[in-house]
Amino acid sequence: MLEGLGWVSSLILVLTIGRQVYRQWKTGTSEGVSHWLFVGQIAASTGFTLYSYAVGNWVFVVTNAVMLVAAGLGLAIVIHHRRKDEHGQHRP
């Protein structure tokens, strides 16, 4: 039961950040989203993934590995949008 609680919580967390990244991609804008959010998430997820692996907690290994990928995608989208805006290709 405790393991199930961990996996459900993991799913909620991943869906939450996934929704934000999807929204940025779908709307074509990252206005109001700091790239530091994703830089911090990448650093934290990397550390937590390594730590979770070291202590053998697979719920957190999987969760943080997926969060690391999501943060990388989020950062790539922010960078893409900022470059697009710099070149005057911003959508209204």
Q: pLDDT tens for residues 40-58?
A: 999 999 999 999 999 999 9
Query: Does any domain span residue 32?
Result: yes
Query: Does any domain span residue 51?
Result: yes
* Per-residue pLDDT tens digits for 54-91: 999 999 999 999 999 999 999 999 999 988 877 776 55
* Longest alpha-carbon distance in the chain: 53
Query: Does any domain span residue 91?
Result: no
Q: Which is higher by pLDDT, 64 or 34?
A: 64
Number of domains in the chain: 1
pLDDT at residue 29, rounded to an integer:
87
Q: Which two tokens stand for residue 43?
A: 């650093």
Q: Tell me, what CATH number does 47's domain have?
A: 1.20.1280.290
Closest CA to 82 of 20, 33, 11: 33
Quote the mean pLDDT of the chain: 88
Domain that holds residue 70: 2-86
